[in-house]
């Protein structure tokens, strides 16, 4: 029997971790050096990353105005791609999605990424660099049928959606069991301008009955004991217990069993957690492999906060035997794209009215009647009886540089540079003057450096503010 000694006096923590958790980590980390480095990592600040919305940035590449571009953003914000970052190729140029965020540089420039016009415009999503890696390794193609079963707040869902193409018929079903969390998920889907998706609020067992062997890619970012979040979330520390670990493990088995029932032959399943517990990680991996003999493990990784930038995470990707029903040999996993991949082509959408709300729903989206839905497709407008008004979510999905698309929705674009005082005034809900040279009246999209912020109404050279009250800056 091997005996491992740990010298506690070398450890200095700025947070108080559960004693039993530390005992478990001693068993999991087989060397004293690793254990000490792991525990001391809790003195470091949490690491965050930015995941870019390539749909919006690539649309801006076609603009001759002062629109924010991919190169401008990564250069001025000093963004560095994470290891194994996913990417798209547009006109023979590689565009990475997932980046480390240089918060020291941004602070020095007075930039607050979570309260910035680009954030409100859905130009990026703030996400842990460790969490970005799961979807990046899933190999999502533009035509895939993707389900994210435990999706709130939406990091992995919005990452997957950026890899899907309306033109190719790819879509996302994003599900969250807790209603309040499903509302947050829906808000992030809206902010990122995703039209080819539905947000559901269902039990995974019901979804498994509804979609047998249907999805070609499934994401299970399972509810877990949250040990990987201890460095940035004190609530996770307070809620941790061995009993909670056991409860999570049983729930995870139920969810992955339902996920398997929904996975098509040849399809891929990504299982991930933000915990270190073997019972919630490798034991679930073994459960899948033993229970379902047509599943094989094709990728596995643990992210340790003392070994790389990021918080704790576990990733395992499986593939099911059989012929992929969507296999298209002419596609190279969807990394080569054209601008039309990211344009709302109305011939692929139909209108659907739910009470007084009018949605644009992709014709390739499955029939979701009988399921609890927060959002199906894109909320286009609201019928107020005497008039129909466009909705905020539509502005985030429209390509501002596509004249045909703007004409279809009858919008004028009022674009301001990011440094203009009108941008902050608009985000606070104030009325602002129209840009120089913009005349006429009617609905307009207020934008910043070529990316949409929201609605306004042109009246006598002024823009009446229609930015949603719940989103306004204080």
**C-alpha distance from residue 473 to each of 103, 115, 423, 424, 425 (Å):** 21, 8, 11, 8, 9
* φ, ψ of residue 403 in degrees (nearest 5): -60, -40
What is the pLDDT at residue 440? Answer: 87
Q: Which domains does the chain have, with CATH numbers?
A: 8-43 (no CATH), 49-320 (3.40.50.150), 411-474 (2.30.130.60)
What is the pLDDT at residue 1? Answer: 35
What is the pLDDT at residue 251? Answer: 97
> Is residue 9 predicted with pLDDT exceeding 60?
no
How confident is the model over 180-190, as a mean pLDDT?
97
CA-based nearest residue to 320, from 298, 294, 299, 300: 294
How confident is the model over 39-52, as a mean pLDDT?
92
What is the pLDDT at residue 100? Answer: 96
Percent of the chain clearing pLDDT 70 (strictly above): 93
How confident is the model over 415-437, as a mean pLDDT?
96
pLDDT band, residue 5 (cuts 50/70/90): very low
What is the pLDDT at residue 177? Answer: 96
pLDDT band, residue 332 (cuts 50/70/90): very low
Q: Pick the more confident residue, 88 or 359.
A: 359
How confident is the model over 229-255, as a mean pLDDT?
94
Rounded Cα–Cα distance for residues 69 and 61 (Å): 6
How confident is the model over 76-102, as a mean pLDDT?
92
Q: What is the mean pLDDT of the chain?
A: 92
pLDDT band, residue 330 (cuts 50/70/90): very low
Write the secondary structure of the chain as one string of H (helix), E (strand) and C (coil).
Answer: CCCCCCCHHHCCCCCCCCHHHHHHHHHHCCCHHHHHHHHHHHHCCCCCEEEECHHHHHHHHCCCCCCCCHHHHHHHCCCEECCCCCEEEECCEEEECEEECCHHHHHHCCCCHHHCHHHHCCCEEEECHHHHHHHHCCCCCCCCEEEECCCCCCHHHHHHHCCCCCCCCCEEEEECCCHHHHHHHHHHHHHCCCCCEEEECCCHHHHHHHCCCCEEEEEEECCCCCHHHCCCCHHHHHHCCHHHHHHHHHHHHHHHHHHHHHEEEEEEEEEEECCCCHHHCHHHHHHHHHHCCCEEEEEEEEECCCCCCCCCEEEEEEEECCCCCCCCCCCCCCCEECHHHHCCCHHHEEEEEECCEEEEEECCCCCCCCCCEEEECEEEEEECCCCEEECHHHHHHCCCCCHHHHHHHCCEEEEECCCCHHHHHHHCCCCEECCCCCCCCEEEEEEECCEEEEEEEEECCEEEECCCHHHCCC
What is the pLDDT at residue 398? Answer: 93
> Of 172-181, 323-332, 379-388, which gets the smallest average pLDDT?
323-332
What is the pLDDT at residue 107? Answer: 93
Rounded Cα–Cα distance for residues 70 and 58 (Å): 8
Active-site residue flag, 274: yes
What does the block give as tokens for 467? 């930015």
Q: Pick the more confident residue, 47 or 379.
A: 379
Percent of the chain clearing pLDDT 90 (strictly above): 80
What is the pLDDT at residue 7? Answer: 40
What is the pLDDT at residue 402? Answer: 86
What is the pLDDT at residue 11? Answer: 52
Query: In which order are the strands placed within the sheet that holds 432-433?
Result: 412-416, 442-448, 451-459, 462-465, 432-433
CA-based nearest residue to 284, from 366, 206, 372, 223: 223
What is the pLDDT at residue 333? Answer: 40
What is the pLDDT at residue 29? Answer: 92
Question: Residue 415: left (phi > 0), alpha (psi -120 to 50), or beta?
Answer: beta
What is the pLDDT at residue 91? Answer: 85
What is the pLDDT at residue 339? Answer: 57
What is the pLDDT at residue 192? Answer: 97
> Of 150-159, 214-223, 240-249, 324-333, which gets the smallest average pLDDT?
324-333
How confident is the model over 420-438, as a mean pLDDT?
96
**Burial of residue 411 (number of CB atoms within 10 Å: 0-12, 13-18, 19+):** buried
What is the pLDDT at residue 10? Answer: 53
The catalytic residue among 150, 248, 270, 274 is: 274
Query: 172 near 194, Cβ under 8 Å?
Result: yes
How confident is the model over 240-251, as a mean pLDDT?
96
What is the pLDDT at residue 228? Answer: 94
Give the pLDDT confidence of 129-161 residue by residue, as tens digits: 999 999 999 999 989 999 999 999 999 999 999
Query: 157 near 172, Cβ under 8 Å?
Result: yes
> Of 55-69, 225-239, 300-314, 425-439, which gets the smallest average pLDDT?
55-69
pLDDT band, residue 214 (cuts 50/70/90): very high
Query: Is the preceding peptide bond at 416 cis, omega within 30 degrees of 0?
Result: no
């Amino acid at each position: 029997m091997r005996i491992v000694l740990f010298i506690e006096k070398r450890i200095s923590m700025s947070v108080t971790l559960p004693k039993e958790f530390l005992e478990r980590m001693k068993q999991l980390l087989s060397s004293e050096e690793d254990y000490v480095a792991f525990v001391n990592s809790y003195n470091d600040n949490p690491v965050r990353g930015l995941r870019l919305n390539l749909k919006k940035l690539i649309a801006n590449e076609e603009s001759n105005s002062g629109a924010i571009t991919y190169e401008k953003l990564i250069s001025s914000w000093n963004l560095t791609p994470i290891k194994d970052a996913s990417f798209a190729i547009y006109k023979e140029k590689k565009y990475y999605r997932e980046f480390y965020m240089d918060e020291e540089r941004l602070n020095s420039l007075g930039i607050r990424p979570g309260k910035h016009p680009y954030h409100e415009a859905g130009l990026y999503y703030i996400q842990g660099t460790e969490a970005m890696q799961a979807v990046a390794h899933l190999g999502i193609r533009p035509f895939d049928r993707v389900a994210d079963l435990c999706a709130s707040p939406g990091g992995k869902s919005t990452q997957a959606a950026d890899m899907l193409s309306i033109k190719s018929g790819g879509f996302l079903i994003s599900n969250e069991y807790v209603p309040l969390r499903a509302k947050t998920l829906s808000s992030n889907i809206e902010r990122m301008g995703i039209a080819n998706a539905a947000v559901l609020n269902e039990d995974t067992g019901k979804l498994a009955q509804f979609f047998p062997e249907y999805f070609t890619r499934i994401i299970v970012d399972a509810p877990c004991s949250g040990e990987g979040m201890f460095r940035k979330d004190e609530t996770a520390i307070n809620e941790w217990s061995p009993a909670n670990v056991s409860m999570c493990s049983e729930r995870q088995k139920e969810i992955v069993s339902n996920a398997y029932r929904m996975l098509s032959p040849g399809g891929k399943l990504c299982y991930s957690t933000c915990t270190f517990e073997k019972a919630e990680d490798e034991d679930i991996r073994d459960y899948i492999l033993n229970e379902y003999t047509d599943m094989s493990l094709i990728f596995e990784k643990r992210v340790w906060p003392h070994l790389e930038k990021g918080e704790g995470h576990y990733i395992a990707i499986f593939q099911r035997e059989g012929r992929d029903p969507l296999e298209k040999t002419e596609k190279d996993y969807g990394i080569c794209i054209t601008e039309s991949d990211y344009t709302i082509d109305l011939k692929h959408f139909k209108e659907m009215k739910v009470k007084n709300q009018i949605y644009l729903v992709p014709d390739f989206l499955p029939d979701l009647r009988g399921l609890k839905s927060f959002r199906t497709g894109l909320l286009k407008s609201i019928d107020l009886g005497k008039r129909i008004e466009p909705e905020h979510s539509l502005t985030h999905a429209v390509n501002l540089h596509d004249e045909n698309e703007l004409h279809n929705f009858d919008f004028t674009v009022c674009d301001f540079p990011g440094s203009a005082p009108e941008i902050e005034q608009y985000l606070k809900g104030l009325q602002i003057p129209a840009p120089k040279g913009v005349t006429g009246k009617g609905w307009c999209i207020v934008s910043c450096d070529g990316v949409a912020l929201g609605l306004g109404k042109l009246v006598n050279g002024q823009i009446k503010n229609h930015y949603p009250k719940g989103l306004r800056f204080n």
